Chain A
Amino acid sequence: MEASLAPAAGTLGGSRSRRNYARRYWMFAVPAAVVVAAVILFPWIFTLVMSVFDWKVSGNIYFVGIKNFVHLFEDSRFQWAVIRTLYFTALAVIFPMILGIWAAVCFASNFKGRGLARTLFILPMMATPVAIALVWTMMFHPQLGVLNYLLSVVGLPPASWVYQADTVIPTLVMVETWQWTPLVMLIVLGGIAGLPVDPYEAAIIDGASGWQMFRFITVPMVWPFIIVAAVMRMIDALKTFDTIFVITNGGPGTSSETINMLLYQTAFGYYDLGYASAQVLVFFAIIMVISVGLLRVRRMERWQ
């Protein structure tokens, strides 16, 4: 293609006109650049600006420099929100990852009704989170919810689910796990489907067990897919809002108040946009650090 274009360009006036033509290429990038600037760059710059102001909805706006960021490090409610966010995220990544990988291995083998089972398995992922959260809220009701009824049927005492500080985050993780395990399963299953059969045949001849084949063949070969699933799950878990908002609204007390919940409350409950913007920026930094860390793990694995 280059060869055919070069003489044509030459006949249009040589290298000078080619250079002029090249200088006009930027015009093609303008629409995309404007859109990116408007929807990504501008909100970030504006958030950055707001974070250095005492910016209340109902009052005057004062420049305060880094005061909002300093306050973050003194604010125990924010610090607890960070800890809770990390705790929630860790559990909401680990459980779907383990169950998702296990489900992918199961669905990779041939069995009767596999198609139907796969379809049923991915249904939670396709439902609207708010609708799911409302249904779970009803099921968690300590007196009237179906979950405590089921526990009583098998002779177990009722649980407090989201109505007690100690159990609220594990219960919310249960909802997350139920909804997002299918996503991990789909990603890992895609990886398993592309694996060659030769290593498995060799392993069988060598007398390897099912666990050994999984540990030493399947896992290393689908590792890039597992890391991608983990990164996606982690970002999703970090920014979980709808499920927590609907089921607990951060409660009881602040027991399930993650950074997302706190910054929403700061911005739209207390109308303190400056402080909320500072929280957003710190939250963004946390997401970036964790994401970069996970991607580095993936790269290190490739080097090995």
Chain B
Amino acid sequence: MIGRRTFLTASTATLAAPALISRAVAQSAFNWQQCKGQTISVSLTKSPRADNLLAHQKEFEALTGIKVVSEQLPEQQQRPKMVMELASGNPSFDVTHFSLHVSKRIIGTGKWLEDLRPYLADTKLTSPDYDFADTGPGPLAAITQPDGRIDSLPVETDLWLIYYNKKIFADHGLEMPKTFDEMLATARKLTDPAKNMYGFVGRGVKNANVPVWTSFLLGEGQDTVTPDGKTLLTDTPDAIWAGEYYKSIMRDCAPPGVVGFNWNECQTSFMQGNVAMWLDGVGFCPPLVDPTVSKIADHVGVGLIPAGPKAHYCAMFNDGIGIPARSKVKHAAYLYCQWATSKKMALNLVNMGGGASPRLSTYKEPTLKPPTQEWLTTLLESLKIARLGLPEIVPVTEFRDVIGIALTNMIQGADVATELHKATETFKPVLEASLKT
């Protein structure tokens, strides 16, 4: 129970907080208040990363005196809205949060976002404790455009791993699989449709399902395009092997209707205790271990993606945050980007289980308190074997659609090689056209 004295102390502390922060700011060498009184609009994608920014927004406003107006939309709506507004030359936002694995190249081609290298080099604009050199090599590569421009700062790194139900594994005397072959065999053993129990679940819905397939493809040590981004590798023997694996595990071991499952349906099935293993992003852990929404909160295990026949990689995706070149309050917007990607915000993100930090120092912080220790251990192991899960090309959405349709056809029984050859031929002219622009 909160006593009167406790209440008064807390109230006084709350009321005094802005003043204390202002005083701390005044004492600091870096002037966080250089844009005081300005207002910025921020466009965010609905995600744990955005939830983290919104939860701490008032701290930024108190620190800088900048007023922030944030808009958070589901990614299906935010992505086209952002691109269309940037292309129009008159975006309604001063800061935009986006998935680098979807929008990086189209944004880079249009040069719609401000090159942040001069900002990072400017000591009047960048706080000395920002420490950009702390950025991990994967996220750094993700935010760097082919021409060397850095038009966003890294907010989060998404790593794909296996969530598994420890109770189901214990009941069957099974261990978390170490290889893809073991994973398929284990999933088959745990599948019993009569008991509404399935060994594996992953995204089946078109577009969203492509990272599942590329996760298997990385096990063959292969990407979807050549390093120069000009030639498709989507119907090679390795790609067909990954397609066969995807087809087998999704047809034989996943719940009925998985062809229409996105991550949320997968998550629901896993949380209800009907599925033994779920392959998806690192940021989905918090609801799984929350007993108010999950029936298996005490049984959630987190494991590294198993090794493939030829290689052991974990699919990686990144989120960034940038400033439209047409923004009229770029310095204020840059202060926001700097704060959003600061060490403190990165630590908050990991502590809430919202994803992996793009900063190396986060994992050495004494105040690091992840949702579970196993989650953190797996995350750190995954970082060591992380590799981009989608190609860095302009028409990435069309790529995901075309390949995604082939994958859904496979789940419904279509021949893998035929589907991948057809999808490759369909997408080839699209990729070639994009290289000409």
Contact = CB atoms under 8 A, between A and B. Distances in A.
Interface of A: 56-60, 141-144, 158, 160-165, 248-254, 265, 268-271
A249 B272 CA distance: 25
B196 interface: yes
Interface in B165-209: 196, 204-206
B256 A158 contact: yes
B437 A56 contact: yes
B83 A164 contact: no
24 contacts: A57-B106, A58-B110, A60-B437, A141-B265, A143-B255, A143-B269, A158-B256, A160-B257, A163-B256, A163-B258, A164-B412, A165-B412, A249-B76, A252-B205, A252-B411, A253-B259, A253-B404, A269-B398, A269-B401, A270-B395, A270-B398, A270-B401, A271-B83, A271-B84
Nearest to B111: A58
Contacts, number: 93
- Range of interface residues on B (Cβ < 8 Å): 35 or more
A253 B437 contact: no
A58 B257 contact: no
B394 interface: yes
B397 A269 contact: yes
Given A253-B408, A253-B409, A270-B398, 10 more contacts: A57-B106, A161-B257, A163-B259, A163-B260, A163-B261, A249-B205, A251-B260, A253-B412, A265-B401, A271-B106
Contacts of B398: 269-270
B377 interface: no
A27 to B, nearest CB: 34
Given A142-B256, A143-B196, A252-B260, A57 B401 contact: no
Given A57-B106, A161-B257, A252-B205, A268 B408 contact: no
B436 to A, nearest CB: 8
B405 interface: yes
A58 B109 contact: yes
A248 B256 contact: no
Contact of A252 (B87, B269, B272, B412): B412
A250 B205 CA distance: 10
B80 interface: yes
A59 B110 CA distance: 7
B268 interface: yes
A144 B272 contact: yes
Given A58-B110, A143-B269, A269-B401, A253 B257 contact: no
A249 B207 CA distance: 11
Contacts of B408: 251-253
Contacts of A165: 259, 412
Interface string B393-437: 011011001001100110110000000000000000010001001
A79 to B, nearest CB: 14
Nearest to A253: B408
Contact of B80 (A251, A252, A269): A269
Interface in B197-249: 204-206
